[in-house]
Amino acid sequence: MQPSVNVVSLVSVGRHPQSDRSRRADQDARAVELGLKLAGKNLTLVHAGDPENPVLRQYAGMGLDAFTVLRQKSYSDVLPIIGNFLTENNAHVVLMGIRAESGESSGMLPYLLAEKLGWPLLSRVADILHVENGKADVLLALPRGQRRAVTVSLPFIATVDNAAKDARQSAYGPGIRASITVLDAEQTADNMAASWAISPAKPRAKRMKVVKAKNAADRFKAATAKPVGGGGNVLKQGTPAEKAQAIFDLLLEEKVIR
């Protein structure tokens, strides 16, 4: 891939599901792994938050000599500064997890960023095959191990699915030696979020799944498969205009638009 392509991985501070302790977030780490595959040591690793957080070193320990922190207080809206950073630094490929493991964890950041920048968003990427001539060949992850190949023009934002390659081990030495560039960006206080009272979520009771499988293969499928909606159509044939019409009809039918 050409060195002129700027790959940025955005990372957050994760939270271990069992211990509640800060950690390298799983999906974000996969975003760094994918970034390393595309750009090697030229990958730009960016976090918006507290530069002192030791967890950031776990990302750097994956093989980066330096990373950038856009200094933010807690309860700040990171959208404006990340957006500015990406345009100022001429980012071409922006990778991040689908949702954060802590904080609001709404999964909205990639969408809001894409909207703000006017860039395409690819959600749930399994792999980026190559980036060439201003275009990228991307595999999207679908349920049951299916993949969809798409081509997208740069710049774009992608969220990285759990189907993407596992993050490599983080090495302690390089991690603690990595240099941090701290950028003191403007703060946009998120007063709404600051006023929320946050309490631990209770796991929702699971609906019992009655599996009427006759053989082991079916039971295995039922136990492992991601649920797929029953309805819907996969449109493989037809012109883009016909496909757009089909989507439009569906939205009308579902009363999303009137």
Partner 1 sequence: MMFDWLTPTLIAVLLVLAGIGAVRRMNLWRAGQADKVDLIAGLMAMPKRYLHDLHHVVERDKYISRTHVATGGGFVLAMLLVVFVHLFGVDSKVLAWLLLAALVMMFYGAVFVFKRRLNPPSRLSKGPWMRLPKSLLTFSITFFVLTLPAAGVLPEGFGGGLLTVVLSFCILASLVEMLFGMTWGGPMKHAFAGALHLAFHRRPERFGGGRSTGLKAAVLGETSHGVAKPTDFKWNQLLGFDACVQCGRCEAVCPAFAAGQPLNPKKLIQDMVVGFAGGTDEKYAGSPYPNVEVGNAKGGPDQIITDGLIHPDTLWSCTTCRACVEECPMMIEHVDAIVDMRRFLTLEKGDTPNKGAQVLENIIATDNPNGFSPSSRTHWAADQNLNLMKDVQQADVLFWVSDGAFDMRSQRILRAFVKLLKAANVDVAILGDEELDSGDVARRLGDDATFQNLAKRNLAILSQYRFKTIVTTDPHAFHCLRNEYADFDSDLNALASVEVLHHTTFLNRLVQEGRLQLDTFKGGKVTYHDPCYLGRYNGEYDAPRELLASLGIDVAEMERSGYRSRCCGGGGGAPITDIPGERRIADMRMEDVVSTGAELVAVGCQQCTAMLEGVVEPRPVVKDIAEILAGQLIEEAH
Contact 151, 137 (CB under 8 A): yes
Quote the tokens at residue 75: 């309860």
Quote the tokens at residue 47: 């976090």
Taking contact as CB under 8 A, which single stretch among the options 14-22, 42-50, 72-80, 226-234 is the one that binds partner 1?
A: 14-22
Radius of gyration of the CA atoms of the chain, in A: 20
Q: Is 170 in the site for partner 1 (CB under 8 A)?
A: yes
Among 2, 4, 18, 224, binds partner 1 (CB under 8 A): 18
Q: Is 165 in the site for partner 1 (CB under 8 A)?
A: no
Comparing CB distances to partner 1, the nearer of 168 and 243 is 168
Taking contact as CB under 8 A, which single stretch among the options 121-129, 168-176, 199-207, 237-245 is the one that binds partner 1?
A: 168-176
Q: Is 23 in the site for partner 1 (CB under 8 A)?
A: yes
Q: Please state the closest distance from residue 200 (CB atom) to partner 1, in A.
A: 12
Contact 22, 56 (CB under 8 A): no
Q: Is 168 in the site for partner 1 (CB under 8 A)?
A: yes
**How far is residue 31 CA from its own chain's centroid?**
7
Taking contact as CB under 8 A, which single stretch among the options 34-42, 72-80, 129-137, 164-172 is the one that binds partner 1?
A: 164-172
Contact 28, 14 (CB under 8 A): yes
Which residues have C-beta within 8 Å of that of residue 22, sequence separation ≥ 6? Answer: 13, 14, 15, 16, 53, 54, 55, 102
Comparing CB distances to partner 1, the nearer of 16 and 219 is 16
Among 66, 108, 150, 171, binds partner 1 (CB under 8 A): 171
Amino acid at 78: V
Comparing CB distances to partner 1, the nearer of 118 and 173 is 173
Asked, as a colleague might, if the bond just before 51 is cis with ω within 30 of 0, I would say no
Quote the tokens at residue 219: 């039971």
Comparing CB distances to partner 1, the nearer of 10 and 62 is 62
Q: Is 174 in the site for partner 1 (CB under 8 A)?
A: yes
Q: What is the spatial distance between Cα 186 and Cα 84, in angstroms, rounded to a whole number?
A: 10
For the window 30-69, what string marks contact with partner 1 as x by the rule CB under 8 A?
-------------------------------xxx------
Which residues have C-beta within 8 Å of that of residue 30, sequence separation ≥ 6? Answer: 97, 160, 161, 162, 164, 165, 166, 167
Among 176, 213, 228, 244, binds partner 1 (CB under 8 A): 176
201, with CB counted inside 10 A (0-12, 13-18, 19+), is: exposed
Q: Is 117 in the site for partner 1 (CB under 8 A)?
A: no
Q: Which residues bind partner 1 (CB under 8 A)?
A: 16, 18-19, 21, 23, 61-63, 168-174, 176-177
